[in-house]
Chains A and B, each alone.
Chain A
Amino acid sequence: QKEVEQNSGPLSVPEGAIASLNCTYSDRGSQSFFWYRQYSGKSPELIMSIYSNGDKEDGRFTAQLNKASQYVSLLIRDSQPSDSATYLCAVNMRNTGNQFYFGTGTSLTVIP
C-alpha cells in the first residue's frame, strides 16, 4: 500500500462546475496535509494546506480533512479552464521526521 493514494484521472469537468479531488493516506499519525497544483512543464505550486478536521476555504478552493477516515479532498468551485492541471496531494507524516509523501497526482481538465 502506498503512503498516499490519489485517483490518477483524468478528471474532466465543464467550466463552472465543481471539481472534486480525493486523497487517502496510510499513516494515522499524519499531521499536515497539502494540495499542490502543477501545470505541464512547471513545478508544483502550493494552493492549500490543512491541519485540522473539517473544511478550510480559500477563494474557490475548499480543502476537507477527515482524520478518522484518513481522507483529504480538494473542491474547486466554479471551475475555470485555467484550473486544468495536475493536482498533487502531499502528507507530512509525523513518524518520518520531516518527510513529505506525495500521491501520483490527479489530472484535471476543465472543458470550456
Chain B
Amino acid sequence: DAGVIQSPRHEVTEMGQEVTLRCKPISGHNSLFWYRQTMMRGLELLIYFNNNVPIDDSGMPEDRFSAKMPNASFSTLKIQPSEPRDSAVYFCASSYRSSYNSPLHFGNGTRLTVT
C-alpha cells in the first residue's frame, strides 16, 4: 500500500499565479479530504468528497479556491490567483466512508509558499 500520494512536496510561486495541488488517495478509499495547516489556525478542513462527489466545501476560503475529483484515484486543489496568505501546508487525506471506524490517512503534504 503506497499510502496517500501528494504532489508537489514543495511549491514556491509568486502572488497572482495559479497553483495546482494533486492527490492520489489510497486504493479502495472512497472519501477524500483536503486540509490546510498553519501555525495560527491549526488543521482546517477545506473540502471533502464521498465517492468523488463534493459533500462539504464550506471550509474553502473563497472563490479563488476550487477542488475537483474526476475519478476515484485523483483529486486536485487549485488556487487562482494565489496570495501570500495562502502560504501553508496542504494535506490530502483519505478514508473508507462506509465504516465510521475507518481513520483518516494523510499524505505527506504540499508546503506552499506564495511570495
Contacts and interface: CB of A to CB of B under 8 A. Distances in A.
Given A99-B45, A100-B33, A51 B101 contact: yes
Interface in A60-112: 88, 90, 92, 94, 96-102, 104-105
A98 B50 contact: yes
Contact residues on A (Cβ < 8 Å of other chain), bracket: 20 to 34
B101 A32 contact: yes
A46 B101 contact: no
Contacts of A104: 42-43
A1 interface: no
B56 A46 contact: no
B75 interface: no
Interface in A1-51: 31-32, 34, 36, 42-46, 49, 51
Contacts of A100: 33, 45, 95, 104
Interface of B: 31, 33, 42-43, 45, 48, 50, 55-56, 91, 95, 97, 100-101, 103-109
